[in-house]
Structure 1
């Protein structure tokens, strides 16, 4: 028998730091209960302590289906339902396309795309049967706009966003919502934990410039993850939440500039684009 008197039940991946951790704490502050997960659950001990009895922890490796199923079942055994799934676990491979090996590209896709897809598919049937729930897909400004050196990451996030937007249209009639979150640069461990490939001189002024910029940005990112988590909870409580939520002024400005450039290019080449019609 489900118990809705103690708030929503969250299942969050990647809770050892950053957005995963802050979302868990924000959910607890809102009166909800959280199953916080990480590949190494021992890293979550202090989070569980701060959770004041409302945060449980379990191992979850998004590249291991058995681990995913075990974490879902542990959540159901403890709480009987999942109201909010947050796909937050991720990684960053930084390097020009030529600098990234196929093994590195596959690993990036495995964590950011296939891992999140696997977790999503494990939870969707539960929410569909409940007729309610929200799936929060932690993407990035890089899920819509590209930068040299982030090709592997962009490939994974663009695939993730395509899957998530389609999922939103399929689940909306069934009472389940999808929220795609697109943060800009936040002061988390994400940048410091990136995997950097070997560098080639040919890309010094493109991907190389991005490498230097990310190093300079480390610890000086303009956005606060605590405020980012608060914004996500505010949107989840909205009667008409957006499909996509940008977080950070840098994300808003970056996407607005990107879309303006896209529309300008459509207008510039519109005559040729329309010239293909059957006479």
Structure 2
């Protein structure tokens, strides 16, 4: 069992960079990590929501309103962490979007943009921060995946494929960094009550499909904290966290 008091001392004062932090799971992760004294850098596109979140936290928090698909954004986040807090210890790649629909009507440009957000941007940020973490001999990268990485849903093939690709990439990066002091893992949420899940709920309701009671974003945030609280000799490589009512 993790010694929570000792874990809090370990995380306190460390610096976490969180993408997609303006709402949902990203916001919940920011609040959970701030509660144990971590300093933060948060990013998303919605400036007003970022600032509101930052102002509500009791721990130092720097914000960057940016498009995560901009190739310059990961480097800017690392620079901001070093300038604002003097260090960087954790990267949470949480930014994501969902595009789904039958092949006859799904927007191909939207699918391409989802690829840039859900995979390309996560890969670029992982490499930028992994290089820094490896040089300093410590760090952690957690990529937010999805239960969809392990399932095949009609009309959601690209979304699921991108999350599966993120899982494979994360595993390969973890193996490449073994022995460096840098941990890499994925957390795969099941149904979670976010803006993205609202889209799924609307489609299910229209089709007369009953959905399980979803997890709360705070449940995923606690999973992320647990992964970070692991002893330095351990690495939770993959955490699948689903609703108690879910059949996945």
TM-score range, shorter chain: 0.7 to 0.9
The CA deviation at 1:42 is 2.6
Partner residue of 2:197 out of 186, 191, 202: 191
Aligned residue number for residue 201 of structure 1 = none
Aligned residue number for residue 266 of structure 1 = none
User: Size of the alignment, in residue pairs?
Assistant: 237
Q: Distance in 2 between matches of 1:241 and 1:215?
A: 41
Q: Distance in 1 between matches of 2:160 and 2:167?
A: 10
Q: 1:191, 1:214 within 8 Å by CA — same for their partners in 2?
A: no
Structure 1 segments, 4+ long, off by >6 Å, are: 214-220
The CA deviation at 1:166 is 0.5
TM-score of the two chains, using structure 2 as the length reference: 0.86
1:51 to 2:57 alignment: yes
Coordinate RMSD, CA, aligned? 2.7
Aligned residue number for residue 143 of structure 1 = 149
Aligned residue number for residue 108 of structure 2 = 102
Partner residue of 1:244 out of 218, 226, 238: 238
TM-score of the two chains, using structure 1 as the length reference: 0.77
1:19 to 2:5 alignment: no
What's the secondary structure of 1:191's corresponding residue? helix
Aligned residue number for residue 226 of structure 1 = 218
The CA deviation at 1:221 is 4.2
CA deviation profile, 1:7-46 (whole Å, cap 9, x unmatched): 2100000011011101111111111101111123332122
Deviates more, 1:88-97 or 1:34-43: 34-43
Q: 1:10, 1:83 within 8 Å by CA — same for their partners in 2?
A: yes
Aligned residue number for residue 134 of structure 1 = 140
What's the secondary structure of 2:177's corresponding residue? helix
Q: Distance in 2 between matches of 1:67 and 1:97?
A: 32
The CA deviation at 1:152 is 1.6
Mark the runs of 5 or more structure 1 residues left unpaired by the alignment: 195-208, 255-279
Q: Distance in 1 between matches of 2:11 and 2:163?
A: 36
Aligned residue number for residue 80 of structure 2 = 74
Distance 1:244 1:5, change over 3 A: closer
Q: 2:191, 2:243 within 8 Å by CA — same for their partners in 1?
A: no
The CA deviation at 1:213 is 5.3
Largest Rg, 1 or 2: 1
Partner residue of 2:94 out of 66, 88, 98: 88
Distance 1:94 1:73, change over 3 A: same
The CA deviation at 1:120 is 1.2
Q: Which structure has greater helix proportion?
A: 1
Q: Distance in 2 between matches of 1:218 and 1:110?
A: 32
The CA deviation at 1:171 is 0.9
1:159 to 2:153 alignment: no
Deviates more, 1:79-88 or 1:95-104: 95-104
Deviates more, 1:35-44 or 1:169-178: 35-44
Q: Distance in 2 between matches of 1:90 and 1:105?
A: 12
